[in-house]
Chain A
């Protein structure tokens, strides 16, 4: 078996229904698990952006990209390894207010990680940490280690920007329209 690599795939598509399903089916076909998924509007109107991370072999990655790019309403898809992107995700921790007040360790830990408080109620506080997956994992581990009971924990899908200048979708589409301008008349 070839070694697996952690990839982040960035896909731009039309904003039609059913595209997520089609993209997910590509992973199902190759039996590759999606580790994280974020779908949102992009900077361009009517263009959606998917940020998908998964661990797989380079060979499978070629197939995945080939098949995603083939989908009629996908504009482009490309993949990156960790050294080619800056990435971030958000995690939220719900902790009992008593615990937060009474445990110096807990509050020190939370401050040390640059978390910020989103909500405070008499029962619980919600803190948020934006950062790398590792930082989030590490905070969760340490909270557990010092015996802090985390009542709820959620994390978002990753988002990423590329280190190299990525061609903007709007530019890509403009170039394509230019190439096909004879037909567009």
Chain B
């Protein structure tokens, strides 16, 4: 379209480079230091949809939600200074949860950098410790290279956030458009060499195991290795538990899927972790919410760890057989070498613990008969109403743990939650991203009364974009998760955890979002039906037991199998 000599602005080059990377959606918020790019974007709205958020933190979580639901890289665009610093929480969140996003931030012209000019923040320096790569573009010639490099880094290897700060002079300066492709960086080993002797060792260990147990992490989804994982566990007849972020790697109903791991996970999994003879961790990082006390974690087991990030192997848990590499490849190599097994006896041994948890916790949570609504029963009723086939988005706190425990999945990329950071306020903007990414799927977003108020401004985005988010507010009038800890570990001293809340229905109606409040059991099913039948967004406020607790629970610092069943 242009001969090589035509000069275009850096901003125009930036937009063309984004289009070349396959970007079709940007979540953003304009401001002085990014205006030339917004102006260039205005000519390309046939190719790129821009979603105007209401706060830059919202843009980052929306980009995260978009990335997690679609498998593509999420993009957000903000101005410099405060617009840029507002993205920090989302960048750190994406880093801990390995979510590929690219943050494009405006920056003042290079000649003013270092003078404390209006809205000057050393954003590259501030973001370097919390992202995969952060770079300041200082001239228009660098733009296509930096964009290509940013997208390659964000999505390859262990994915993560990348930040590009674009100096004003690079936005307005003229340059020839020279398209760039980056698929190799010599200092970056994104697809580590597989050590075949480790594959042989691991296969032999699994083949001779009597009681093998598998831990499934989000790495399986990030590596697009669902099929390989399924073949692996099925051939070896290997029961597995999932991390919070790994919950949708295989359907919840898969006979080998034993549910969630960790502090509020399924009891059988934590018991079996400390009983198995071989523990195979796939694309997970032994977070302390999964392991509990490391001194007593899986000490009896031979540990095999499959991961693409060498820094994860042996970081928390000593590993006997490290299997470095892309799990899509390593799982396939392992499966070839597995002997078909039938481990009925071992699998059946999970049953007693499942039954114990069902009797002591699940039955009461889901089918209480009388008293106020429970969070778990609301989650379960919604999950059933959507045939366990929706995308789940959660906020953080009790609502998150209850949703993770009782929402069920049938397809991959179906759980969007802030795992590593535990960022309250993640839910609403992440649901925006999910709705934009997957208009073909139902998006059920569970939030708490605390978390909703942290990013409630994104109701405006939902309204403007007419996004069909099914938002379920589990209102307990408390910062429930913290209150639960106060009850259990601080003598019921409820310091600043009770919330004086607004009328959430009025808030929703101010944004034109239809809503309904349920306080009693008989109305629940009908309210859910109304929510799902309504075109567009809907807020279902479920007023739940104020002092409900998430059980079972491993108290902090305790051995992971030492779970409280009631309190």
Q: Are A18 and B124 in contact (CB under 8 A)?
A: yes
Q: Are A176 and B186 in contact (CB under 8 A)?
A: yes
Given A13-B187, A173-B186, A179-B193, check contact A70 B128 (CB 8 Å): no
Please tell me which one of the listed residues A22, A29, A75 contacts residue B186 in the complex, with CB atoms under 8 A apart.
Answer: A75
Q: Are A72 and B315 in contact (CB under 8 A)?
A: no
Residue in chain A with minimal CB distance to B189: A176
Q: How far is the CA of A104 from the CA of B336 in the complex (A)?
A: 79
B185 an interface residue at 8 Å Cβ cutoff?
yes
Given A18-B125, A29-B129, A66-B310, check contact A72 B185 (CB 8 Å): yes
B residues near A177, Cβ cutoff 8 Å: 186
Q: What string of 1s and 0s marks CB contacts (under 8 Å) between B156-196 and chain A?
A: 00000000000000000000000000011111110101000
A35 an interface residue at 8 Å Cβ cutoff?
no
Kindly identify, within residues 52 to 84 of chain A, every residue whose CB is under 8 Å from any CB belonging to chain B: 62-63, 66-67, 69-70, 72-75
Q: Are A183 and B186 in contact (CB under 8 A)?
A: no
Q: Are B187 and A22 in contact (CB under 8 A)?
A: no
Kindly identify, within residues 128 to 145 of chain B, every residue whose CB is under 8 Å from any CB belonging to chain A: 128-129, 132-133
Q: What string of 1s and 0s marks CB contacts (under 8 Å) between A67-107 and chain B?
A: 10110111100000000000000000000000000000000
Q: Are A66 and B311 in contact (CB under 8 A)?
A: yes
Given A176-B186, A176-B189, check contact A25 B128 (CB 8 Å): yes
B residues near A63, Cβ cutoff 8 Å: 315
A residues near B314, Cβ cutoff 8 Å: 62
A residues near B242, Cβ cutoff 8 Å: none
Q: Are B183 and A183 in contact (CB under 8 A)?
A: yes
Q: Are B183 and A74 in contact (CB under 8 A)?
A: no
Q: How far is the CA of A184 from the CA of B153 in the complex (A)?
A: 16
Please give the distance in Å from B317's CB to the nearest CB on chain A: 13
Q: How far is the CA of A73 from the CA of B309 in the complex (A)?
A: 16
A152 an interface residue at 8 Å Cβ cutoff?
no
A residues near B125, Cβ cutoff 8 Å: 18, 21
Q: Are B311 and A72 in contact (CB under 8 A)?
A: no
Kindly identify, within residues 144 to 185 of chain A, every residue whose CB is under 8 Å from any CB belonging to chain B: 173, 176-177, 179-180, 183-184
* Central interface residue in A13, A29, A67, A180, by most chain B CB within 10 Å: A180
A residues near B132, Cβ cutoff 8 Å: 72
A142 an interface residue at 8 Å Cβ cutoff?
no
Please give the distance in Å from A13's CB to the nearest CB on chain B: 7
Q: Are A70 and B311 in contact (CB under 8 A)?
A: yes
A residues near B189, Cβ cutoff 8 Å: 176
Please give the distance in Å from A41's CB to the nearest CB on chain B: 16
Residue in chain B with minimal CB distance to A12: B187
Interface size on A, residues (CB 8 A): 24
Residue in chain A with minimal CB distance to B309: A70
Q: How far is the CA of A29 from the CA of B309 in the complex (A)?
A: 20
Please give the distance in Å from A149's CB to the nearest CB on chain B: 41
Q: How far is the CA of A155 from the CA of B259 in the complex (A)?
A: 60
A residues near B315, Cβ cutoff 8 Å: 62-63, 66
B residues near A176, Cβ cutoff 8 Å: 186, 189
A residues near B124, Cβ cutoff 8 Å: 18
B residues near A62, Cβ cutoff 8 Å: 314-315
B residues near A25, Cβ cutoff 8 Å: 128-129
Q: Are B311 and A67 in contact (CB under 8 A)?
A: yes
Please tell me which one of the listed residues A29, A67, A73, A184 contacts residue B184 in the complex, with CB atoms under 8 A apart.
Answer: A184
Given A173-B186, A180-B184, A183-B183, check contact A18 B128 (CB 8 Å): yes
A residues near B193, Cβ cutoff 8 Å: 179
Please give the distance in Å from B129's CB to the nearest CB on chain A: 5
A residues near B128, Cβ cutoff 8 Å: 18, 21-22, 25
Please tell me which one of the listed residues B133, B183, B309, B310 contacts residue A72 in the complex, with CB atoms under 8 A apart.
Answer: B133
Q: What string of 1s and 0s marks CB contacts (under 8 Å) between A36-48 and chain B?
A: 0000000000000
Kindly identify, within residues 264 to 316 of chain B, every residue whose CB is under 8 Å from any CB belonging to chain A: 309-311, 314-315
Please give the distance in Å from A15's CB to the nearest CB on chain B: 11
Residue in chain A with minimal CB distance to B314: A62
A residues near B185, Cβ cutoff 8 Å: 72
Q: How far is the CA of A180 from the CA of B152 in the complex (A)?
A: 15
Q: How far is the CA of A75 from the CA of B187 in the complex (A)?
A: 4
Q: How far is the CA of A179 from the CA of B192 in the complex (A)?
A: 9
Residue in chain B with minimal CB distance to A68: B311
Q: How far is the CA of A72 from the CA of B95 in the complex (A)?
A: 14
Q: How far is the CA of A69 from the CA of B311 in the complex (A)?
A: 8
Q: How far is the CA of A130 from the CA of B32 in the complex (A)?
A: 55
Give the B-binding residues of A (Cβ under 8 A).
13-14, 18, 21-22, 25, 29, 62-63, 66-67, 69-70, 72-75, 173, 176-177, 179-180, 183-184
**Told that A66-B311, A72-B153 touch, could you supply 9 new A-B pairs with CB distance under 8 A?**
A14-B187, A18-B124, A18-B125, A29-B129, A62-B314, A66-B315, A72-B132, A75-B186, A173-B186
Give the A-binding residues of B (Cβ under 8 A).
124-125, 128-129, 132-133, 153, 183-189, 191, 193, 309-311, 314-315
Can you give 16 contacting A-B residue pairs, CB < 8 Å? A13-B187, A18-B124, A18-B125, A29-B129, A66-B310, A69-B310, A72-B132, A72-B153, A72-B185, A73-B187, A74-B187, A176-B186, A176-B189, A179-B193, A183-B184, A184-B184
